[in-house]
Chains A and B, each alone.
Chain A
Amino acid sequence: MRKNLINHQAEQTEINVSPLIDMVFILLIFFIVATSFVNEVGISSSYKDSNSKSDIPKPPLFFNLPGSGQVMTNGSSIGLEGVAPQVRNFSTNEAPSVIIQVSKGAKAGLATQVMDQALLAGAKAVKLSVDSK
């Protein structure tokens, strides 16, 4: 038998592939499990540098979010629905920049929705800032 095998070595070139298949399957299962397809949706404002205030060409539109959960602009309370008209009517020729000043106690959900409304109304950039008052 052994002698026969050596004699016919040229013909007897099949390798045993079962361990290879086992390994490949294990690797495959590992990578299937480890791959996490995170598919997030969301909003992103396009401000390049939030810290520099000097290079804003036009005066921005301010919204204040006090802790009471209102949306204020120029001292008057507008609802979340009032954000988009404010942004649209702010300037006739150019889309305004919007700064949302949040006070302590304001909810992040509201801030996000105000950002969304402002971007929806065509605001050029939306920036969050903390009201220091």
Chain B
Amino acid sequence: MNIGAPKALWKGAGRVIRNWRLWCLFYFLNLLFAAVLALPFASVFAKDISRSLAGSDLLAGFNYRWYVEFIHANDANGAYFESLVPQIVVLLGVYVLMEVFLAGGFFSVFAEGGRGKVSRFFSECASKFFPILTITIGEIVLLFALYKGDAFWARANLAAAGEALTDAQVLHAELWRYGAVIAAFMIVNLFSDFAKAAVAIDDDTLAHKIWRGLAFAMRHPFASSGTYLGAAIVSAAVIALYYFVESGMHPLTAEGIVLQIAAGQIFILLRIYSKLIFYAGEAALYRENQIEVINVKREMLE
């Protein structure tokens, strides 16, 4: 029996909880990469303020004067921050590859529904890596083309027309434009997700699996987009909640600072959880509804 988006999301949420070890694994990998990225910044930061009264200002809030001079000293003069850019780009690239690697394992384990074994998870990661990488590269190329096409269109049309518009008209035009671009990005991302799910769950040639995933999303437009948007709303809600909470936190004591750091880490855990709901919800939806289709076809053949 086919399931809808709410049930897929519900099942997905449960499957993530059951596989909490994978959730933690994702979190630790994220923390590790972030720590490597933050280390050079944190070290110059600590050196600059640990014995300065600027530290007291920063404890209480923010000091724009210090910030401007700090950035200038490390960027313009020594070009220290600029020298870090290649390392940052490489690390970000490696991180994306790592997530591509993990995606196959997540889809496979979450599609099965139970608590997946770590060994099976990694074997699925390895076996699905190249197919999912292929889809990811295709997605990135498509998104880049959309981005460039939009910029070209905006230059050709909106920039010229903008001269004749009032501020409000420009703003509205821009909002529509961005809305359209974001919608296009999401559609590409949605189809890409189901192609990845098909690649991870089905057994067939790569081209057939991709086609099956795309066809699935088209055959179940409401369920697939509902699952995707539902997970997106959960993510957006998590982000909004965190910024609401964080904007009210101005700790001055050690306990308060620990609480603030803990809140930040809980937020990242929730972001990861909501990301895994994408995988799990889509995997559940694909698995349940695709099996139904296959069963019906089998019955018809018999």
Q: Please determine whether chains A and B interact with each other in the same assembly.
A: no
- Chain B positions within 8 Å of A, measured between CB atoms, are none
